[in-house]
């Protein structure tokens, strides 16, 4: 058939219906009018081929259907495209599509017709989701409280920026190495952490520069059996108060302090200046003299001399000191005291004597410890 023209065409897209019980029809109702070259209406049965293209002039065919017998009456024909060869949903994934029509052996008519949607077809983009929402099982993982404003779940872990690790309920990881916060909490109380286990940790901080940094009226507030635990060096730019909330010095202690070990002070101690020399336990034997360096800078001192049979000072007794004399048979004598040195001599017959249970015991060797307290 020659010189047949398609004067007009109407597309009606029979898109997804709202019935959940039946299969959704994927058909396009296509109506058109065929005329002869002289303008007369075609009134017969013709063979027609319909094709859907990706664009208006290209040759990429996305779908095609041959109809060997299409009834045309007074120029009007009406077909349901997709009733012979179904139209895949993927055909309409993307941009606008174009329909080409070919009658008998004629060339495909030009221009191709743009396929557009009708009003109800706008719902097709949500049809799959809506259908799933109506039939999907309820999500029991997330729950809401009675107010309806708070949502929660009782099991599982949450990861932000990574898969949750270390059995953490919430594990947050930031890809930035410098500057950004993985978690930023702001409020009347920025962040509150409670450890319910006896050996649990409320907040544990690790970092190359600072594990935990606190700024504000109270930078870090710790409460519990241990208010704070520091493993490593600590730095405080202000004053530290123990037993007081208003320290006037870098370190102020309100109460007693017990120090096990040496106390080193660079500078003076106000109010009371104590200068003490402690020799520690040193081995001695009878009839010997030992010169010790005290560096107290004075000869006005109070002396204490102790004796023990062991180097750890167990069973220590105070030694009675006497003036140095060749006749001293037992005990120790202190002599030749200067502002820097002092000499200690043991007895001719024993370093010390101890009276116990009605008996007087003499010790030929052992350990002395001399303590000097300067009076100026």
The length of the chain is 376
Give the residue among 87, 69, 74, 78 at the shortest CA–CA distance from 15. Answer: 87
Q: What is the mean pLDDT of residues 41-59?
A: 92
The CATH code belonging to domain 276-374 is 2.60.40.10
Q: Angle at Cα 13 formed by Cα 12 and Cα 14, nearest 5°? A: 110
Report the alpha-carbon distance of residue 39 to residue 43 in Å, rounded.
12
| 106-125 pLDDT tens trace | 899 889 998 886 644 545 55
| 330-353 pLDDT tens trace | 677 888 999 999 999 888 777 776
Domain extent listing, the chain: 4-130, 276-374
| 90-103 pLDDT tens trace | 888 878 899 999 99
Report the alpha-carbon distance of residue 347 to residue 288 in Å, rounded.
8
Q: Do domains 4-130 and 276-374 have the same CATH topology?
A: yes
Specify the pLDDT at position 143.
80
Structure token pair of residue 21:
């019980």
In this predicted model, which residue has the larger pLDDT, 318 or 271? 318
Peptide bond into 274 cis (omega under 30): no
Report the alpha-carbon distance of residue 261 to residue 280 in Å, rounded.
12
Given CATH 2.60.40.10, say whether it is the number of domain 4-130.
Answer: no
DSSP label of 112:
P
Report the alpha-carbon distance of residue 26 to residue 16 in Å, rounded.
7
CB 121 within 8 A of CB 14: no
Q: Is a pLDDT exceeding 70 seen at residue 59?
A: yes
| 301-328 pLDDT tens trace | 999 988 888 999 888 888 866 555 544 5
Specify the pLDDT at position 118.
60
């Amino acid at each position: 058939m020659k010189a047949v023209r398609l004067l007009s065409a109407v597309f009606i897209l029979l898109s997804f219906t709202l019935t959940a019980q039946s299969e959704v029809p994927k058909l396009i109702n296509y109506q058109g009018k065929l005329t002869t070259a002289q303008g007369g209406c075609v009134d017969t049965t013709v063979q027609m081929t319909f094709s859907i293209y990706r664009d208006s002039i290209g040759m990429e065919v996305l779908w095609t259907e041959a109809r060997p017998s299409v009834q045309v009456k007074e120029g009007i024909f009406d077909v349901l495209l997709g009733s012979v060869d179904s139209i895949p949903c993927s055909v309409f994934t993307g941009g606008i599509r174009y329909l080409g029509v070919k009658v008998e052996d004629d060339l495909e008519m030009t221009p191709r017709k743009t396929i557009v949607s009708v009003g109800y077809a706008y719902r097709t983009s949500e049809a799959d989701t809506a259908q799933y929402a109506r039939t999907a099982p309820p999500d029991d993982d997330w729950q809401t409280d009675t107010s309806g404003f708070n949502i929660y779940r009782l099991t599982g872990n949450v990861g932000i920026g990574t898969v949750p690790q270390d059995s953490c309920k919430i594990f947050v990881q930031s890809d930035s190495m410098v500057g950004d916060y993985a978690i930023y909490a702001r409020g009347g109380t920025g962040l509150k952490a409670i450890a319910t286990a006896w050996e649990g940790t409320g907040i544990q901080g690790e970092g190359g520069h600072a594990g935990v940094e606190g700024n504000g009226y109270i930078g870090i507030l710790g409460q519990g059996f241990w208010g704070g635990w520091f493993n490593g060096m600590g730095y405080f730019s202000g004053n530290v108060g123990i037993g007081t909330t208003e320290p006037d010095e870098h370190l102020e202690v309100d109460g007693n302090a017990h120090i096990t070990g040496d106390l080193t002070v660079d500078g003076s101690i106000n109010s009371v200046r104590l200068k003490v020399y402690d020799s520690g336990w040193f081995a001695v034997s009878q009839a010997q003299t030992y010169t010790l360096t005290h560096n107290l800078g004075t000869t006005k001192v109070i002396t204490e001399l102790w004796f023990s049979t062991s180097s750890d000072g167990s069973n220590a007794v105070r030694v009675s000191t006497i003036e140095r004399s060749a006749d001293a048979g037992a005990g120790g004598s202190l002599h030749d005291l200067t502002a820097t040195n002092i000499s200690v001599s043991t007895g001719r017959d024993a370093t010390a004597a101890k009276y116990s249970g009605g008996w007087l015991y003499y010790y030929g060797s052992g350990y002395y410890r001399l303590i000097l307290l300067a009076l100026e």
